[in-house]
Amino acid sequence: MKMSEKFNGDELILKIEGVFDESTAFTIRDKMNDLLEKNIQTLYLDLDHIGYISSIGIGVLITAHKNAVKKNKRVLISSISEKANEMLKAVGILPLFAGKDK
């Protein structure tokens, strides 16, 4: 798993590559929590290079969304791989993260 971030004013793009499962989910969770503490309004997730998202990864995404809403911020997906898209659609949470492409 690899993560990188790019600031753009009050927005930040977090690019995550690899798998989003029990071996990486808590590292990703901690990173998203840290980023949501920064002076940004929107955290965009670039999931274009994610091959797999487990149920734990899905739970981390839902929690990040809830935490952002509490802080009057947003977590949106800017790009997503076909596999990750299928998984998030299947569980019905993709609309929570709908946003503009970056």
> How large is the angle between the packed helices 55-70 and 82-91, nearest 10 degrees?
70
Closest to 5 in 3D by CA, of 65, 58, 26, 38: 38
Q: For the chain, give every domain's residue range.
A: 2-97
Placement of tokens 């009057």 in the chain: 72
pTM assigned to the model: 0.92
The per-residue pLDDT for range 14-32, each reduced to its tens digit, is 999 999 999 999 999 999 9
- The pair of structure tokens assigned to 24 is 């990486």
With cut-offs at 50, 70 and 90, classify the pLDDT of residue 61.
very high
With cut-offs at 50, 70 and 90, classify the pLDDT of residue 100.
low
Question: What is the pLDDT at residue 101?
Answer: 45
Task: Report whether CATH 3.40.50.11260 matches the domain 2-97.
Answer: no
Cα 6 to chain centroid distance, Å, stands at 14
Average pLDDT over residues 71-79: 96
